[in-house]
């Protein structure tokens, strides 16, 4: 029983100290893995963190954000930066890398929210169905479309994979 309570406490506190403050002096181990400090945000679905003393570029799994020069591209980047730049995050990944050697991952914020899903929920990313069959993302995208959030307020938003091939 004591083990169960301890595990539950670690899950609920995530990357935070028991006082509620972020531990900025070292990486923290949790039951879900190591927390990593975000050191840069390249765009809405790509950022840089420190992993094992080295910079690692991470690409968000399941989603595709608008390109920087595309409508809502800068808003997506600012949204990500506001939630994770200079902070600690946890990653859910399966050691998969894309052709650019970016680690493909879901990003869990200090408060436990999934940043990938937050982007879709707020209309700042598409569910990248070509690479993801996760129905949770499809549901979030449908809801954002219906509520005309973010990029879905535009009459005919162009998916980033189509924008890149113009």
102 is catalytic: yes
d(CA 81, CA 90): 15
d(CA 154, CA 166): 19
User: Which residue from 126, 115, 116 is spatially nearest to 149, judged by alpha carbons?
Assistant: 126
Per-residue confidence at 166, pLDDT binned at 50, 70, 90?
Answer: confident
Catalytic, 67? Answer yes
| Domain spanning 33-163, CATH class | mainly beta
| Catalytic residue chosen out of the listed positions 59, 90, 121, 141 | 59
Helix (H, G, I), strand (E, B) or coil at 120: helix
Residue 87: its H or E element? none
Beta strands 29-30 and 103-108, pairing class: unpaired
Mean pLDDT rounded to a whole number for the chain? 84
What's the whole-number mean pLDDT along residues 41-69? 96
Where residue 33 falls among pLDDT bands split at 50, 70, 90?
confident
Q: Is residue 129 within 8 Å of 139, Cβ to Cβ?
A: no
Catalytic residue among 16, 28, 90, 102: 102
Mean pLDDT across the stretch 7-27? 39
Confidence band, pLDDT 50/70/90 cuts, at residue 28: very low
The position carrying tokens 């990486």 is 27
79: confidence class by pLDDT, cuts 50, 70, 90: very high
Catalytic residue among 16, 67, 90, 141: 67
């Amino acid at each position: 029983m004591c083990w169960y309570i301890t595990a539950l406490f670690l899950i609920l506190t995530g990357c935070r100290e028991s006082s509620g403050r972020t531990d900025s002096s070292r990486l923290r181990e949790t039951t879900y893995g190591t927390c990593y400090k975000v050191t840069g945000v390249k765009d809405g679905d790509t950022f840089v963190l420190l992993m094992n003393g080295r910079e690692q570029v991470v690409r968000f799994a399941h989603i595709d954000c608008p390109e920087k020069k595309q409508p809502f591209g800068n808003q997506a980047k600012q949204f990500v930066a506001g939630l994770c730049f200079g902070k600690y995050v946890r990653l859910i990944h399966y050691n998969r890398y894309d052709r650019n050697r970016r680690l493909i991952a879901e990003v869990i914020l200090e408060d436990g929210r999934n940043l990938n899903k937050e982007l879709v929920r707020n209309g700042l990313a598409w569910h990248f169905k070509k690479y993801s069959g996760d129905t949770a993302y499809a549901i979030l995208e449908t809801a954002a479309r219906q509520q005309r959030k973010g990029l879905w307020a535009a009459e005919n938003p162009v998916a980033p994979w189509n924008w890149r091939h113009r």
